[in-house]
Amino acid sequence: MVIHFKQPSRLKTFWEDIQQDLKLFGFILVLVCLYRAIFMAVMHSYINPATPGDEILLANWMGLRLSLKTAGGAALVTFLFATVAALLVPRLSGAARTLRLIWGTLASFVFNVLFVARFPFYNQFHTTYNSQQVMAGTNEKLGSVLMMMIQDYGLIWRMAVAIALTVVCFLLLRRLFRLRPLPLPGFFSGRPLFFSAVFLVVFAAVFLFVRFGGSFTFAHGINWESSGVTSDDFLNECVLDDAQAMYRVHALNQRMKAGTAATFVDKAKIRDYARFAAGHTEENGDDLTPYLARTAKGPRMDKPRHIFIILEESGASWPLLDQYADLHVTDGMKSLMNAPHGYGTLAFMPNGEYTSVAFDGIISGLSEMRVAVNYQPRSIREPYPTALAVQLKKLGYQVDFWYGGNPAWASMKPFSLAQGFDHFYGYTDMNAPKVNTFGTADEYIFDKLSEHLAGEPPTVHVIMTVSNHPPYNIDIERKGFDLEREEAFTRAMPDVENPDQLAKELGHYWYTDQVVTEFIKKTEEIYPDSLFFVTGDHAVRTDPSRHPTLFEHQAVPLLIYGGGVTKDILPANAVGGLTSILPTIMEFIAPKGFTYYSIVPSMTEQQDGMQAGFNTSCFLTQNAMGAVDKDTMEPAPWNAERGYDAEAERAKAMKWLPAARTLSWWLAVHGTDLNAE
């Protein structure tokens, strides 16, 4: 390929335009690296105190290399659409200069917005932009998201800062582009073929060097998947500039759509995992359903009239730990756990790290494997064999869903009804007052449900609360919460980013706990033969410190309460997860010999069954908790003094986690046909 320059002026113009593109490249590179350094400095308290200082330098160095891609991508746009365009059509030179300035300003604006938004995002989720939270946000109504961002995250003033920074960037870019370019070296004058050859060689070398993040080969380069170069989670997130973090969101979302995002999904072992799950070692058919069949061993209590499965928004376990007892956040749940007909365990895990994954798990019976089950076309066509509603109907129950938010959110209403629920009630269906952009307050959900019970046949109610969630606008003090006292406690807690905000969030958790406890007690008086399961949809959002333990960040409690519940209905601190609830109900109430379908076993099978609960990121056993994709482990809070065998505890999780994820993935993507491609 030869670049033809028919006139010396075209060669000179092309040479000058290349320099302008290099200026843009350098500007963007400096900008994102500067923002990385500022973010590290402002948020330095998130760095583990034991982290060596040289790892901070390493994070900046590897971040610089990774940001070569970001700057290169920005500069490539102007090279193609300004520099090359002006070379091919010289009369576009003026427009090309304008385009370069506009593009540089627009790119700066995007980086400025992402930069100012990065602070509250990290404070909330302890991660730079990730696929789960960002994609969950895109499923929300735009108006609801905007109101939440205005009320809780300072959207207006942050946007003003971003605009001001953009004005500064515009002025700097304009000044930079006006600097006199270097003249064309004399040895290129009149020698277009020589210039073309040198340019192509240099361009190819620079392109490779930038494309691979400071290396000429992929093996020695860096990308978002290999950016975990330090021992500190915060620094590893800092390696990613905002553009690379958003590219991670895009890449993982594409993998989710293709069904290739999850770890520990081994399609080649689908038949092995199918035989393992429910112990059907002799099964060899091509339909997955029979492999998942389980036989109830006989009821452990009289069949309840009503069953209530309550998912509390952001219902974390850590406030139930003794060390946080003085916060008095979950006194209601504690009282029910300690009651004669109550059972509680903290060795319990949510299905994932945000609400729609909890919906997916409880409705479909599928473990989280980075496929949006609620959006799969298959999910609307027919129920999964493991679906909760269709199986409880076989025991004679009507099955309803109560949600304090908008029924259209995340396709929850059509998804639930398609999976066998008889009714789905959002706050609009309840005629409940709208309290914030996301829906009503928890008290109105349970008030409407209580009114509904009188004329109902035996029913299973799945209830999702909403109040313990931004914008945190319930008047908790009017409800009886001592916010001033709580703030005094949170201010005394070590390593808390924003003690007053933490107190406010804990007040909303307290509010939900009070509402749920009152509902259970009132319902028990009228319907003493009721059974209640209460857990959290996820934890993650509200942490007791900048450096929470895995347990504090991820675990949720499980309360089982009702007339037929005894203290020994399950082993002490039994292990389980959200998808364990259905098989556990079946083993509590189903007649002996009743067939039901579940990927994971009941929590009644602690010794021979699943000895670990797990979600997207972590697993929890009776002795320890660990990260799924890393070697990080810690003792369970109730086992801190005794120690544990890390290899043995991880093996408990790895016995089940790959099987559950693979079987769930197969059902979501291929259905029950084991011959599907």
Confidence (pLDDT) at 561? 99
Confidence (pLDDT) at 1? 43
Query: What is the count of structural domains for the chain?
Result: 2
Q: Which helix (H) or strand (E) holds 461?
A: strand 459-464
Give the Cα separation of 283 and 269 in Å (integer).
15
| Residues 470 and 152 sit within 8 Å (Cβ to Cβ) | yes
Confidence (pLDDT) at 3? 53
Domain extent for 663: 274-670
Does 332 lie in the same domain as 282? yes
Mind listing the pLDDT tens digit for each residue in 319-344? 999 999 999 999 999 999 999 999 99
Please name which of 537, 518, 549 lies closest in space to residue 468, comparing C-alpha atoms: 537
Question: Range with the lowest mean pLDDT among 139-148, 433-442, 492-501?
Answer: 139-148
Average pLDDT over residues 529-534: 98
Asked, for residue 286, whether it belongs to a domain, the answer is yes
Does 288 lie in the same domain as 251? no
Helix (H), strand (E), coil (C) string for 208-262: HHHHCCCCCCCCCCCCHHHCCCCCCHHHHHHHCCHHHHHHHHHHHHHHHHHCCCC
Please provide residue 599's backbone torsions phi and psi, each rounded to the nearest 5 degrees: -70, -45
Mind listing the pLDDT tens digit for each residue in 619-640? 999 999 999 988 999 999 999 8
Q: Tell whether the model's pLDDT for residue 579 goes beyond 50.
A: yes
Q: Tell whether the model's pLDDT for residue 2 goes beyond 60.
A: no
As given in the structure block, the two tokens for residue 191 are: 């020698």
Helices 53-78 and 8-42, axial angle in degrees (round to 10): 150
Q: Tell whether the model's pLDDT for residue 106 goes beyond 90.
A: yes
Number of H helices, E strands in the chain: 22, 14
Average pLDDT over residues 544-569: 96
Q: Tell whether the model's pLDDT for residue 147 goes beyond 80.
A: no
Residues with Cβ within 8 Å of 456's Cβ and at least 6 positions away in sequence, in order, are 306, 398
Average pLDDT over residues 40-58: 92
Confidence (pLDDT) at 126? 78
Q: What percent of the chain has pLDDT over 90?
A: 72
Asked, for residue 267, whether it belongs to a domain, the answer is no
Q: How many CA atoms lie within 13 A of 555 on its CB side?
A: 33
Residues with Cβ within 8 Å of 186's Cβ and at least 6 positions away in sequence, in order, are none
Q: Tell whether the model's pLDDT for residue 164 goes beyond 60.
A: yes
Does 242 lie in the same domain as 292? no
Angle at CA 416, nearest 5°, toward 411 and 359?
75
Instruction: Classify strands 306-312 and 531-536 as parallel, antiparallel or unpaired.
Output: parallel
Does 313 lie in the same domain as 226? no
Residue 339, SS3 per DSSP: coil
Give the Cα separation of 73 and 204 in Å (integer).
15
As given in the structure block, the two tokens for residue 301 are: 């209590």
Does 297 lie in the same domain as 197? no
Most confidently predicted of 52-61, 208-217, 341-350: 341-350
pTM above 0.85, yes or no: no
Residue 399, SS3 per DSSP: strand
Average pLDDT over residues 450-467: 96
As given in the structure block, the two tokens for residue 313 are: 């928004």
Residues with Cβ within 8 Å of 92's Cβ and at least 6 positions away in sequence, in order, are 85, 86
Residue 529, SS3 per DSSP: coil
Q: What single letter denotes the amino acid at residue 343? A: Y
Q: Which helix (H) or strand (E) holds 417?
A: helix 412-418
| Residues 140 and 354 sit within 8 Å (Cβ to Cβ) | no
Does 303 lie in the same domain as 243? no
| Residues 20 and 179 sit within 8 Å (Cβ to Cβ) | no
Asked, for residue 409, whether it belongs to a domain, the answer is yes
Residues with Cβ within 8 Å of 146's Cβ and at least 6 positions away in sequence, in order, are 155
Confidence of residue 479 (pLDDT cuts 50, 70, 90): very high
Asked, for residue 395, whether it belongs to a domain, the answer is yes
Helices 93-125 and 53-78, axial angle in degrees (round to 10): 150
Does 237 lie in the same domain as 285? no
Does 309 lie in the same domain as 363? yes
Domain boundary among 219, 234, 258: 258
Angle at CA 248, nearest 5°, toward 243 and 251?
125
State the Cα torsion 209-210-213-216 to the nearest 10°.
-10
Average pLDDT over residues 297-318: 98
Q: Tell whether the model's pLDDT for residue 360 goes beyond 80.
A: yes
- Edge-first strand listing for the sheet containing 423-425: 423-425, 398-403, 459-464, 306-312, 531-536, 556-562, 342-349, 576-577
Burial letters for 56-80: b for 16+ Cβ neighbours within 10 Å, e otherwise? beebbebbbbbbbbbbbbbbbbbbe
| Residues 296 and 592 sit within 8 Å (Cβ to Cβ) | yes
Does 208 lie in the same domain as 88? yes
Give the Cα separation of 188 and 574 in Å (integer).
77
Q: What single letter denotes the amino acid at residue 66? A: L
| Residues 168 and 652 sit within 8 Å (Cβ to Cβ) | no
Q: Report how far apart the first and last C-alpha atoms of the chain are (Å, whole number).
A: 43
Q: What distance separates the 2 farthest-apart alpha carbons in the chain? A: 97
Mind listing the pLDDT tens digit for each residue in 598-624? 999 999 998 777 899 999 999 999 999
Does 489 lie in the same domain as 376? yes
Confidence (pLDDT) at 455? 85
Confidence (pLDDT) at 136? 61
Asked, for residue 266, whether it belongs to a domain, the answer is no
Please provide residue 673's backbone torsions phi and psi, each rounded to the nearest 5 degrees: -80, 110
Average pLDDT over residues 509-535: 98
Angle at CA 482, nearest 5°, toward 479 and 487?
135
Asked, for residue 676, whether it belongs to a domain, the answer is no
Q: State CA 153 to chain mean position distance.
A: 19
Asked, for residue 193, whether it belongs to a domain, the answer is yes
R_g of the chain computed on alpha carbons = 29
Summary mean pLDDT of the chain: 92
| Residues 537 and 313 sit within 8 Å (Cβ to Cβ) | yes
As given in the structure block, the two tokens for residue 427 are: 């706050």
Domain boundary among 209, 228, 258: 258
What's the CATH code of the domain at 495? 3.40.720.10
Does 300 lie in the same domain as 190? no
Q: Tell whether the model's pLDDT for residue 4 goes beyond 60.
A: no
Confidence (pLDDT) at 216? 87
| Residues 513 and 330 sit within 8 Å (Cβ to Cβ) | yes
Confidence (pLDDT) at 465? 98
- Among left, alpha and beta (phi > 0; psi -120 to 50; other), residue 128 is beta
Asked, for residue 324, whether it belongs to a domain, the answer is yes
Does 279 lie in the same domain as 253? no
Domain boundary among 258, 291, 323: 258
